[in-house]
Amino acid sequence: MMLIIVLVSFTAKCQIVIKDSTQSKYNMGIYPSIYYYDHTLNDQSDEFAKIFSCELSPYLSYNLYHNLFVGFNGSYELFISNFYDKQKIREIGLFSRYILPYTINKSLFRKMHLYCEVGYYRTNYKAVSYIANTIEYKGIEIEEDFVISKKINYSKLSIPIGITFHVAEHIFIDLNWRKTIYIDGASRDGFMGGVGFNF
């Protein structure tokens, strides 16, 4: 009998993966994406061609059941350039995120949670598999493999697989790899990172 108690105790202490349900009712966060480009056009006059883009994607989600969250998010691009003009990216959508109810029973890893997500979005941006437009300006050539409309009339699916890491009681870092599929368009893969807050 004593041997069984010792073995059970040893197993409990050495268990690597433990069940860990999400306690938060709401999650909110933001994904920032910043791009800057400049090119010297004339060394003597210090003439530059510049592009600055900052896309902000805030989200809010609700814990519907156990570790299943549903929510909505949007995206808006701040775009500035002294030679290149295009429509700003805008989108809005709904998503569902499932946080795996397990964590690794080590001090660092207990703060990490894996999740998978699927979302549907309406947007004015669509990636395509061809060069839709070419911009030339004083030796600079930009090939656009996308189309942007004034209205939000395109659809896309987004499937991220990610990890959150809590850095404080209610604050976490959110990193993911996502597959984005544009309906009647092309698909894109990429990483995104942001910061979130749960309460």
Instruction: Read off the pLDDT of residues 146-172 as tens digits, 9 standing for 90 and up.
Output: 999 999 999 999 999 999 999 998 999
Residue 81: per-residue pLDDT: 97
Both tokens assigned to 186: 């092309």
Give dist(CA 143, CA 191) in Å, integer.
Answer: 22
Give dist(CA 163, CA 84) in Å, integer.
Answer: 36
**Mean pLDDT calculated for residue range 71-83:** 97
Q: What is the pTM for the complete model shown?
A: 0.86
DSSP letter at 88 equals P
Name the one residue in this structure whose structure tokens are 């959110």. 174
Give dist(CA 23, CA 26) in Å, integer.
Answer: 9
Residue type, 10: F
DSSP letter at 91 equals E
Residue 54: per-residue pLDDT: 98
DSSP 3-42: HHHHHHHHHHHH--EEE-----SEEEEEEEEEEEEEEEEE
Q: Which of 8-17, 108-117, 119-128 has the lowest mean pLDDT?
A: 8-17
Q: Which domains does the chain have, with CATH numbers?
A: 26-198 (2.40.160.20)
Instruction: Read off the pLDDT of residues 31-52 as tens digits, 9 standing for 90 and up.
Output: 999 999 999 988 888 889 999 9
Residue 146: per-residue pLDDT: 98
**Mean pLDDT calculated for residue range 93-104:** 94
